[in-house]
Amino acid sequence: MEEKDLRQVTFHGEGSKLFGIYIVNLLLTIVTVGMYYPWAKAAILQYVYQETEFEGSRFTFHGTGKEMFIGFIKAIGIFIVIYAFLLICIFSKKPLIMSIGFLVTYAAFILLIPIAIHGSTKYRASRSSWRGIHFGYRGDRKEFLQEFIIGALITISTLGIYYFWFIIKIRKYIFGHLRFGSISFAYNGGGTDYFKLHLKGYFLTLITLGVYSFWYVKDLFRFFVDNIQMEQDGEIVKFRSTATAGGYFKLIIGNLFIVILTLGFGTPWATVRTLNFIFSNILIEGNLDVNAIQQTEMDYRDATGEDISDMIDIGLV
Amino acid sequence: MYHFNILYFDGKFSVTHQATLDLKPDHWIIQYVDQDQNEQIVQWEINGIERDLGFNSLYIFRYGDFPKQTIECKDENLLVSLKKLYPEKAFFRKKIDLLINQNGTVIAGLACALAGLLAVAYFYILPWFAETVADKIPISMETQLGETMYENVISQYNKDDSLTRSVNDFVKEIDFKTDYPVEVTVVKEDKMNAFALPGGHIVVFDKIISKMKTKEELAALLAHEVAHVHYRHSLKSIFRSLSGYLLISLIFNDINGITAVLADNSNMLLNLNYSRNLEKDADEKAVVILQANGLNLKGFADLFSLLKLESKDSETLNLLRTHPLTDDRIKYAKDVAFHQKGIRNNEKLEKKWQEIVDQSK
């Protein structure tokens, strides 16, 4: 049998440097009443990418505060319009108009979620590069929106049970349209397995009074990672998780102590620990030719989706 | 010193080229051998070169339209040479470099400043803001909050039903000059205390009533507590001292949480520390109420004297302990009583008072 190459992404970030960035960010964000936020976010992403290494080369985040600020303003505009509409409906004091107002607001938020996911994935991917080769997301907004809304409606009408299949479908769609130059991605997980994993995790966590939760997160992480694959010129490259429940225990309890004992000021160190943990527990397995990745993607600079997703707090991936 | 070893990426493939960089006055020359062993030369015009914001000792430059070419250099001398050769080109203007790359003291200072800022915000701005919010809450909501708190508080006491009825009859004879519905509850408790809840509920301990000698004293006590209600003192003070919790509830958009927090802390009402100014406001309003009802203000002074007397043998006299500077207030009460005109005899009120006296003996 052919020997397979094992590769890893390594993270070199330091808590003290990240701390410096956090502090400057926080102060400027407070002083500017939040307007600095996009620049703050850009600085952190740039730092984290720059300290992330694969095969001797660092990643780069090309997004700028200015791009994200424009997106930020657009996103605020969208929210103001939605809330203004809702307020007008409420002030009318007529039950019918009020309920229409709530319905429309609700629908608008459901619509915004996929728009935000699509936009931020596309922006984030396009603004990420390694050795000058950019990532890219080729998903179609209309198609994604359709898939998302249908999934959301089925989830609601099955009282949430479909949720697990829904999540997997979304993951499949996003990974299926993700590119890194000439490399394409795919997600192989199945909704049924995902559902079983949650079912098992939930009940065992209850029965063991929470002790099982470390195995639960380990399993979820593994399910996420092990189902990702890359393809380069017909060659399949797989991802594999080596995270253990013990490792998760050390990470979570340690971070909890760091954050609580420092009244939150230790958060950057906790972030560094988390990133270290994640990257050191992912193996990339297969015959990847790291010198033959070809530039294929277009430039994309609209950060509106990125900012909307921040505002409705969608945790991507 | 214008020759460096670098890594070059052409923007088309991910292959790393070991290359050399030569700095010329208006352009850079990059030379490398490609995979097919061909010598390659690339020229970068100075005006198209950008530097990445750097957080570590890797210097990254990019050139051209998308997809950009990239070079990476680890040689610190590169920066020195760039400064010398292109003094007017802004390769170094990224001000954040300064803050992040070197000065630990600056960062520590900023961290302290931030902690200070947060402390000021938490201890001063937040309470002030909470008080402002309390001022803007609609009466209906205030009454509802007060009702919830009242139920919580009163469940811990033994209510004196007949005294409560009599005192409320007494209340009906006085015009308290407020829109809030005044509702007194007398409870059996061996302490001298009384307190007001948001929205109009007033709780009076029976001991304080049994020590009173005149109807004016009771009227003064009630008028004072009603004034607290009228000016929303209790609501404001509660919001003030719970502003931290309220903020958290607001952040999580949990309006029910606010009610729960207030309900859980209803007991605070017993020991609420009103500021000197709030007490003064309440005293002044009480004087106005008493005068408008033609009641003798001497009752006011008597009430304070009674409280002061009692405080000598009771260490837990809340009403007084939390009301500072009793001597000043006695003086104030005597003063206004001295100048008072238009005292009327109120037979009806006197009758109600006698009913209370009969019961509390």
d(C-alpha A179, C-alpha A129), whole Å: 11
Closest to B91 measured CA to CA, from B53, B58, B51: B51
Nearest to B287 by CA among B226, B232, B235, B240: B226
Residues in chain B within 8 Å Cβ distance of A27 = 110, 113-114, 117
Name chain A contacts of B100, Cβ cutoff 8 Å: 17, 20-21, 24
Note whether A292 contacts B12, CB cutoff 8 Å. Answer: no
Note whether A291 contacts B10, CB cutoff 8 Å. Answer: no
Q: Is residue A82 part of a domain?
A: yes
Q: What is the mean pLDDT of residues A156-184?
A: 94
CATH no. of B3-101: 2.30.29.30
Of A156-170, B90-104, B226-240, B285-299, the range with the lowest mean pLDDT is: B90-104
Count of pairs with CB atoms under 8 A, one residue in A, one in B: 89
pLDDT in tens, B158-207: 999 999 999 999 999 999 888 888 999 999 988 888 888 888 899 999 98
Q: Is A121 exposed, middle or buried, given 0-12, 13-18 or 19+ CB atoms closer than 10 A?
A: buried
Residue A313 forms part of a structural domain: no
Q: What residue of B is the nearest CA neighbor of A295? A: B12
Cβ neighbors of A244 (< 8 A, separation 6 or more) are A218
CA distances from B349 to B71, B132, B353 (A): 95, 38, 6
Q: What is the pLDDT of residue A316?
A: 44
Most B CBs within 10 Å: which of A25, A295, A298, A313, as the mutation test of the B interface?
A: A295
pTM over 0.80: no
Pick from B14, B58, B100: CB nearest A131: B14
Task: Look at residue A284 and tell me whether its pLDDT is greater than 50.
Answer: yes
Token look-up 């790359």 returns B101
Chain B contact probe: residue of A7, A23, A30, A291 with most B CBs at under 10 A? A23
Tell me, yes or no, if A293 comes closer than 8 A to chain B by beta carbon. yes
Q: Where are the alpha helices (DSSP H) in A5-138?
A: 15-31, 37-50, 65-91, 95-126
State whether B9 and A181 contact (CB < 8 Å).
Answer: no
- Is residue B22 within 8 Å of B2, Cβ to Cβ? yes
Domain count, chain A: 1
Which residues in chain B are closer than 8 Å to A56, comparing Cβ atoms? 16
Contact across the interface for A134 and B12, Cβ inside 8 Å: no
* Confidence tier at B142 by pLDDT (50, 70, 90): confident
Question: Within a domain: residue A255?
Answer: yes
Task: Assign B292 to helix, strand or coil.
Answer: helix
CA A104 to chain centre: 27
Closest by CA to B72, choosing from B148, B160, B7, is: B7
Give the closest of B10, B60, B107 to A23, CB-based: B107
Q: Is residue A238 part of a domain?
A: yes
Q: Which residues lie below 8 Å from residue A163, measured CB to CB, with a gap of 6+?
A: A155
pLDDT of amino acid B89: 72
Name the band, by pLDDT with cuts 50, 70 and 90, for residue A231: very high
**CB spacing of B114 vs A23 below 8 angstroms:** yes
3-class state of residue B262 by DSSP: helix
Asked, for residue A316, whether it belongs to a domain, the answer is no
CA-nearest of A133, A115, A118 to A179 is A133
Q: Which of residues 22-81 of A touch B (CB under 8 A)?
A: 23-24, 26-27, 30, 43, 46-47, 50-51, 56-58, 60
How many Cβ atoms from other residues are within 10 Å of residue B355's Cβ?
Answer: 16
Residues 6+ apart with CB under 8 A from A255: A270, A273, A274
A303 in a structural domain:
no
**Predicted ipTM?**
0.80
Q: CA A207, CA B42: separation in Å to the nearest integer?
A: 66
Amino acid at A250: K
CB contacts of B113 in chain A (<8 Å) are: 27
Instruction: Label residue B100 by pLDDT band (50, 70, 90).
Output: low
Q: What residue numbers bound the domain in which A180 lies? A: 7-290
With CA atoms as reference, the chain B residue closest to A288 would be B14
Q: Would you say residue A1 lies in a domain?
A: no
